[in-house]
Amino acid sequence: MALRLSTLFLRTLREDPADAEMPGHKLLVRAGYIRRAAPGVYSWLPLGLRVLRKVERVVREEMDAIGGQELSFPALLPREPYEATGRWTEYGPNLFRLQDRKGVDMLLGPTHEEMFTLAVKDMFSSYKELPLTLYQIQTKYRDEARPRAGLLRGREFIMKDSYSFDVDDAGLDAAYQRHREAYVRIFDRLGFDYVIVHADSGAMGGSASEEFLAVSPHGEDTFVRCEASGYAANVEAVVMPQATPVDASQVPAAHGEDTPDTPTIDTLVAAANADHPRADGRPWTAADTLKNVLVMLVHPDGSREPLAIGVPGDREVDRKRLEAAVSPAVPEAFDEKEFAAHPVLAKGYIGPGVLGAQKASGIRYLLDPSVAEGSAWVTGADEHGRHVFDLVHGRDFTADGTIQAAGIREGDPSPDGQGRLTLDRGIEMGHIFQLGRKYAEALELKVLDEHGKLVTVTMGSYGVGVSRAVAAVAEGTLDDSGLCWPRELAPADVHIVATGKDRAVFETAERLVVDLEAHGVEVIYDDRPKVSPGVKFKDAELLGVPTIVVVGRGLAEGVLEIKDRQTAERRQVAVGDAVGEVLVEIGHPAAVSFR
Ligand code: ATP
Ligand code: MG
- Which atom of ligand 1 has the smallest separation from the CA of 427? 3
**Nearest Cα to 190, choosing from 160, 162, 163, 168?**
160
- Which atom of ligand 1 has the smallest separation from the CA of 433? 11
* 122 Cβ contact list (under 8 Å, min separation 6): none
- In contact, 54 and 46? CB cutoff 8 Å: no
Q: How far apart are CA 389 and CA 254, in angstroms?
A: 6
pLDDT band of 1, cuts 50, 70, 90: confident
40 lines ligand 1 (CB under 6 A): no
Radius of gyration of the CA atoms of the chain, in A: 30
Task: Among the bound ligands, name the one nearest to the CA of residue 150.
Answer: 1
Which of helix, strand or coil describes residue 35? strand
- Which atom of ligand 1 has the smallest separation from the CA of 153? 28
Task: Among the bound ligands, name the one nearest to the CA of residue 55.
Answer: 1
Q: How far apart are CA 45 and CA 231, in angstroms?
A: 41
Q: What is the pLDDT of residues 444-470, one digit of tens each?
A: 999 999 999 999 999 999 999 999 999
Average pLDDT in the 297-318 region?
95
Q: Which helix (H) or strand (E) holds 195?
A: strand 194-198
Q: What is the pLDDT of residues 80-131, one digit of tens each?
A: 999 999 999 988 899 999 999 999 999 999 999 999 999 999 999 999 999 9
- Residue 291 vs residues 308, 321, 572: alpha-carbon distances, Å: 10, 17, 69
- In contact, 330 and 304? CB cutoff 8 Å: no
Q: What is the distance in A from the centroid of ligand 1 to the CA of 430?
A: 8
Residue-level pLDDT at 591: 76
Q: What is the pLDDT of residues 338-349, one digit of tens each?
A: 999 999 999 999
Q: How far apart are CA 134 and CA 543, in angstroms?
A: 36
Q: What is the distance in A from the centroid of ligand 1 to the CA of 428?
A: 7
Angle 584-557-508 from CA coordinates, rounded to 5°: 60
Q: How many CB atoms lie within 10 A of CB 346?
A: 19
429 lines ligand 1 (CB under 6 A): yes
pLDDT band of 200, cuts 50, 70, 90: low
**Nearest Cα to 311, choosing from 355, 254, 249, 262?**
355
Question: Exposed e or buried b for every residue in 219-256, given b needs 16+ CB within 10 A?
Answer: bebbbbbbeeeebbbbbbbbebeebeeeebeebeebee
Pocket-testing residue among 428, 435, 462, ligand 1, by greatest number of atoms within 8 A of Cβ: 428
Q: How far apart are CA 235 and CA 215, in angstroms?
A: 14
For the four alpha carbons of 121, 126, 127 and 128, in that order, the dihedral sign comes to negative
Q: Write the DSSP symbol of residue 520.
A: T
Residue-level pLDDT at 278: 87
Quote the percentage of the chain above a pLDDT of 70: 98
Q: How far apart are CA 56 and CA 62, in angstroms?
A: 10
- Residue 476 vs residues 42, 199, 219, 472: alpha-carbon distances, Å: 20, 23, 11, 6
Q: What is the distance in A from the centroid of ligand 1 to the CA of 157?
A: 9
* Position 204 pLDDT exceeds 50: no
Tell me the one-letter amino acid at 455. V
Average pLDDT in the 249-262 region?
94
* Position 201 pLDDT exceeds 60: no
Q: How far apart are CA 235 and CA 225, in angstroms?
A: 10
- Which atom of ligand 1 has the smallest separation from the CA of 159? 16
Q: What is the distance in A from the centroid of ligand 2 to the CA of 421?
A: 25
Q: How far apart are CA 178 and CA 163, in angstroms?
A: 12
Q: How far is CA 426 from the centre of its chain?
A: 7
Q: What is the distance in A from the centroid of ligand 2 to the CA of 41?
A: 15
Mean pLDDT value across the chain? 94
Pocket-testing residue among 159, 161, 223, 323, ligand 1, by greatest number of atoms within 8 A of Cβ: 159
**Nearest Cα to 463, choosing from 142, 126, 8, 130?**
142
Average pLDDT in the 62-86 region?
97
Q: What is the distance in A from the centroid of ligand 1 to the CA of 148?
A: 12
463 lines ligand 1 (CB under 6 A): yes
Residue-level pLDDT at 594: 60
Output phi, psi for 216, to 5 deg: -160, 135
- In contact, 391 and 428? CB cutoff 8 Å: no
54 lines ligand 1 (CB under 6 A): no
Q: What is the pLDDT of residues 469-485, one digit of tens each?
A: 999 999 999 999 999 99
Q: What is the distance in A from the centroid of ligand 2 to the CA of 428?
A: 9
Which of helix, strand or coil describes residue 463? strand
Residue nearest to atom 22 of ligand 1 (CA): 465
206 lines ligand 1 (CB under 6 A): no
Residue-level pLDDT at 203: 40
Which of helix, strand or coil describes residue 364? strand
Q: What is the distance in A from the centroid of ligand 1 to the CA of 96?
A: 16
Range list of β-strands (E), 323-363: 330-333
Cα dihedral angle (46, 52, 55, 60), rounded to 10 degrees?
A: -100
pLDDT band of 486, cuts 50, 70, 90: very high
468 lines ligand 1 (CB under 6 A): yes
Diameter over CA atoms, the chain: 97
pLDDT band of 246, cuts 50, 70, 90: very high
Residue-level pLDDT at 207: 63
Task: Among the bound ligands, name the one nearest to the CA of residue 111.
Answer: 1
Q: Which helix (H) or strand (E) holds 190?
A: helix 169-190
Residue-level pLDDT at 225: 95
Residue nearest to atom 31 of ligand 1 (CA): 465
* 171 Cβ contact list (under 8 Å, min separation 6): 130, 131, 458
Q: What is the pLDDT of residues 511-556, one digit of tens each?
A: 999 999 999 999 999 999 999 999 999 999 999 999 999 999 999 9
Q: What is the pLDDT of residues 283-299, one digit of tens each?
A: 999 999 999 999 999 99
Pocket-testing residue among 55, 143, 186, 468, ligand 1, by greatest number of atoms within 8 A of Cβ: 468
pLDDT band of 206, cuts 50, 70, 90: very low
* 172 Cβ contact list (under 8 Å, min separation 6): 164, 166, 434, 436, 458, 459, 460
* Position 357 pLDDT exceeds 80: yes
Output phi, psi for 210, to 5 deg: -135, 150
* Position 280 pLDDT exceeds 90: no
- In contact, 505 and 511? CB cutoff 8 Å: no
142 lines ligand 1 (CB under 6 A): yes
70 lines ligand 1 (CB under 6 A): no
- Which atom of ligand 1 has the smallest separation from the CA of 110? 10
Tell me the one-letter amino acid at 125. S
Residue nearest to atom 4 of ligand 1 (CA): 153
Q: What is the pLDDT of residues 410-435, one digit of tens each?
A: 999 999 889 999 999 999 999 999 99
430 lines ligand 1 (CB under 6 A): yes
**Nearest Cα to 525, choosing from 551, 500, 501, 487?**
551
DSSP letter for each residue of 396-412 = TB--SEE---BPP-TTP
435 lines ligand 1 (CB under 6 A): no
* 410 Cβ contact list (under 8 Å, min separation 6): 421, 422, 423
* Position 395 pLDDT exceeds 90: yes
Q: How many CB atoms lie within 10 A of CB 50?
A: 18
pLDDT band of 218, cuts 50, 70, 90: confident
Q: What is the pLDDT of residues 136-182, one digit of tens each?
A: 999 999 999 988 889 999 999 999 999 999 999 999 999 999 999 99
Residue nearest to atom 23 of ligand 1 (CA): 465
Q: How far apart are CA 127 and CA 120, in angstroms?
A: 12
- Residue 98 vs residues 79, 87, 103, 109, 505: alpha-carbon distances, Å: 10, 15, 9, 11, 58
Q: How far apart are CA 81 and CA 442, in angstroms?
A: 9
Mean pLDDT lowest for which of 13-17, 74-78, 330-334, 348-352? 13-17
* 101 Cβ contact list (under 8 Å, min separation 6): none
Burial (CB < 10 A; 0-12, 13-18, 19+), residue 90, is: middle
465 lines ligand 1 (CB under 6 A): yes
Q: What is the distance in A from the centroid of ligand 1 to the CA of 465?
A: 6
Residue-level pLDDT at 592: 67
Residue nearest to atom 8 of ligand 1 (CA): 428
Which of helix, strand or coil describes residue 194? strand
- Which atom of ligand 1 has the smallest separation from the CA of 469? 20
Angle 395-400-404 from CA coordinates, rounded to 5°: 105
Average pLDDT in the 303-319 region?
97
Cα dihedral angle (389, 395, 401, 404), rounded to 10 degrees?
A: 50
110 lines ligand 1 (CB under 6 A): no
